Chains A and B, each alone.
Chain A
């Protein structure tokens, strides 16, 4: 590998730091920490091919959103893409307008058109803006003598190029590969790993952290099942989180979260290291995964004997088995069997969907592997160090020194936003490297 990887990571941090600079707790650990993350030797970046790392807060952009300035190279690449997109659009349009188009052809063309719609709208706007700018340029040249006119034209020019910049940014975003699952709700699974009781306690803390974070975001957090450990922690816990773009926001939370602290049970006051695993799955329904009732085997608790009127039990545990794959999900915490079954199916569908996704879309996961960490669930992604009061994410090399804030769900955004940004940058990088 060369400097490229290091450069990329380094700037990732700078960029995020710029974004986060209002947050006083935010501390950069510098290049060394950044280096912890894996890097991809195949992607070599020249300083100039990437964008300039400065951020303008656009005036007509009310929310103080992050809007990077794009490098000349990137703009050139996008210009080329513009024509390609326009041609493609025209071609598809022609098929759809054809009276004798085959139904199949019509269908696929129409589908792609729909996908392109947003992009083409932006392209059209951008073309318009270009024309406007050309016009203004002319006007400026012609009004050298008329001071007022000249001034007005320049002002308008300033605004138009701001708008152009914003449109370019929108275009860039719409060109970046998108995961269709991002908009979905998700299933959260937290499991205590190595470290015994302490791991269970931390599993509970992490689970609650996501619960609080969800509350803060206005998302719905439904506990699906909790397996408690002897010492008041969670061996395993599972929840369904729903709201806007939940999966897209939380997907990078999957992985091993490591904790370093003095367990409540530890008399000598020694710091222990233990770990919990977090899995975030996009939610899916039975239609998404083509789930047929015939493929399901449902077991319920039986107190022996003939059931029905014979028995009165409050045990309404349900275990659902997907026969073709052998996947099973058991839920027992709800008070009615029907609802235990509904929850079990929810989790099962999410698991099947994930299996289908990784099968059908090997390239997508390869893309992901090159990006933020390996996407591997066994990868250690974050360390919560209580004695030092800090949380470090090893993929983006960021440390928050407000561990309480993070655990309260207050400062988790530090990481969530940084990871999203990293994702965007990586996508841009692969966009440019593919040229």
Chain B
């Protein structure tokens, strides 16, 4: 794998790629240091294919009909997408796949383009049919279909095996931003994003820290996640400021124990037995490793909470995402009792839907 280490000489000497996989109990062991090659999102592929306008129109009408026929079946079934949303997704697919997407927009139907006009596309016509079929018939998540997710001001590459970053998680970066504002020590320190998935939080944190001395570690147990996160890091040209490491939680960070200025994590937090009941896009397509938090969903959160005490330096900041009120309260309670005296300023913060989603605080 390409486990980047930092340009800073003092660090590069101590930061060694760590490949020791110490998976948690019951998790599959992947003992390969060769990372899979990440897929390129459709919008970044060259427009190497062609189809005539009439062929594309035909596909577009077919795809719209497919979307319409869904009605509210999915949303009634398992809170899945309804037609309105699928129509919007179809527009985005057109936006990503066509070199001149505007030509298929309804507003241009009055312009008299010749139906035989050849148009450049970034995936072949057959694939466009296949992709939309997968979206509708297999409920393949739209973000996997186009290979990317728009998240905050980023466009992150995603694929099967990597969790699609959620809008709720965007707020963690606001929390980090607030913590870092006016605190030079935090701003110039070492940070970590544990269970980085696509690299969303690590990239966001690195951009908040800016061009100072701040550096970010991103770890994940999943080789696909590490590969995709590394790809995204490079796409945002942050390889000098973010080191992506393969391994379980804090394991790959032994060399910086007690030195972290901050860390963020959105670990798996769904109770094992709930997973099969989730909407098809999630339960059938997203990696279980990214979702399953054990019997009550708290396994990883507790593990991270224990680790936080030894990894953070005094005054260091942390932010966790949780499943909601129950987990957040449990975690706060845990900090006040089991790891008493390790933290201060512990706070529960709600997401925009009013769900008590985040727990933040500082190392005492």
Does B150 lie at the interface of the complex (its beta carbon under 8 Å from any beta carbon of A)? yes
Question: What string of 1s and 0s marks CB contacts (under 8 Å) between B249-283 and chain A?
Answer: 00000000000000000101110001000110110
Which chain A residues lie closer than 8 Å to B142 at the CB level?
314
Does A215 lie at the interface of the complex (its beta carbon under 8 Å from any beta carbon of B)? no
Contact call B279/A312, Cβ cutoff below 8 A: yes
Select one of B107, B151, B163, B166 contacting A204, CB under 8 A: B107
Which chain B residues lie closer than 8 Å to A299 at the CB level?
352-353
Which of A298, A303, A314 has the most C-beta atoms of chain B within 10 angstroms of its own C-beta? Answer: A314
Select one of A307, A312, A335 contacting B355, CB under 8 A: A307
Contact call B150/A307, Cβ cutoff below 8 A: no
Contact call A334/B141, Cβ cutoff below 8 A: no
Contact call B153/A306, Cβ cutoff below 8 A: no
Does B88 lie at the interface of the complex (its beta carbon under 8 Å from any beta carbon of A)? yes
Which chain A residues lie closer than 8 Å to B274 at the CB level?
310
Select one of A204, A303, A339 contacting B79, CB under 8 A: A303
Known: A232-B106, A310-B282, A312-B286. Contact between A300 and B152, CB under 8 A? no
Contact call B109/A309, Cβ cutoff below 8 A: no
Contact call B282/A312, Cβ cutoff below 8 A: yes
CB distance from B80 to the nearest CB of A (A): 8
Question: What string of 1s and 0s marks CB contacts (under 8 Å) between A305-327 and chain B?
Answer: 11111111111101000000000
Which chain A residues lie closer than 8 Å to B168 at the CB level?
307-308
Which chain A residues lie closer than 8 Å to B164 at the CB level?
312
Does B321 lie at the interface of the complex (its beta carbon under 8 Å from any beta carbon of A)? yes
Which chain A residues lie closer than 8 Å to B152 at the CB level?
336, 338-339
Known: A204-B107, A300-B353, A339-B150. Contact between A309 and B85, CB under 8 A? no
Task: Tell me the bound Cα distance from A313 to B278 in angstroms.
Answer: 12
Which chain B residues lie closer than 8 Å to A208 at the CB level?
107
Contact call B79/A304, Cβ cutoff below 8 A: yes
Does B89 lie at the interface of the complex (its beta carbon under 8 Å from any beta carbon of A)? yes
Chain A residues within 8 Å of chain B by Cβ, number:
30
Interface residues of B in 276-298 (CB under 8 A from A): 278-279, 281-282, 286, 290-291
Which chain B residues lie closer than 8 Å to A232 at the CB level?
106-107, 109
Contact call A310/B353, Cβ cutoff below 8 A: no
Does A302 lie at the interface of the complex (its beta carbon under 8 Å from any beta carbon of B)? yes
CB distance from A314 to the nearest CB of B (A): 5
Known: A311-B279, A312-B281. Contact between A339 and B153, CB under 8 A? yes
Task: Tell me the bound Cα distance from A315 to B151 in angstroms.
Answer: 12
Does B334 lie at the interface of the complex (its beta carbon under 8 Å from any beta carbon of A)? no
Interface of A is mostly: loop
Does A228 lie at the interface of the complex (its beta carbon under 8 Å from any beta carbon of B)? yes
Contact call A309/B351, Cβ cutoff below 8 A: no
Which chain B residues lie closer than 8 Å to A334 at the CB level?
150
Select one of A228, A307, A314 contacting B143, CB under 8 A: A314
Known: A336-B150, A336-B152. Contact between A312 and B352, CB under 8 A? no
Which chain A residues lie closer than 8 Å to B166 at the CB level?
307-309, 311-312
Which of A299, A302, A334 has the most C-beta atoms of chain B within 10 angstroms of its own C-beta? Answer: A302
Does B92 lie at the interface of the complex (its beta carbon under 8 Å from any beta carbon of A)? yes
Contact call A314/B88, Cβ cutoff below 8 A: yes
CB distance from B178 to the nearest CB of A (A): 10
Contact call A309/B269, Cβ cutoff below 8 A: yes
Which chain A residues lie closer than 8 Å to B92 at the CB level?
314, 335
Task: Tell me the bound Cα distance from A303 to B355 in angstroms.
Answer: 13
Which chain B residues lie closer than 8 Å to A337 at the CB level?
167, 170, 352
Known: A204-B107, A315-B85, A336-B170. Contact between A308 and B150, CB under 8 A? no
Interface residues of A in 377-425 (CB under 8 A from B): none
Question: What string of 1s and 0s marks CB contacts (under 8 Å) between A282-305 and chain B?
Answer: 000000000000000011101111
Q: Which residue of A lies closest to B270 (CB)?
A: A309
Does B316 lie at the interface of the complex (its beta carbon under 8 Å from any beta carbon of A)? no
Which of A307, A308, A336 has the most C-beta atoms of chain B within 10 angstroms of its own C-beta? Answer: A308
Q: Which residue of B lies closest to A302 (CB)?
A: B353
Which chain B residues lie closer than 8 Å to A264 at the CB level?
110
Which chain A residues lie closer than 8 Å to B167 at the CB level?
300, 316, 336-338
Which of A302, A304, A307 has the most C-beta atoms of chain B within 10 angstroms of its own C-beta? Answer: A307
Question: What string of 1s and 0s marks CB contacts (under 8 Å) between B70-105 and chain A?
Answer: 000001000101000100110010000000000000
Task: Tell me the bound Cα distance from A338 to B169 in angstroms.
Answer: 10
Select one of B85, B106, B153, B321 contacting A313, CB under 8 A: B85
CB distance from B229 to the nearest CB of A (A): 17
Does B360 lie at the interface of the complex (its beta carbon under 8 Å from any beta carbon of A)? no
Subset of 5 A-B contacts with CB under 8 Å: A232-B106, A309-B323, A315-B85, A336-B152, A338-B152
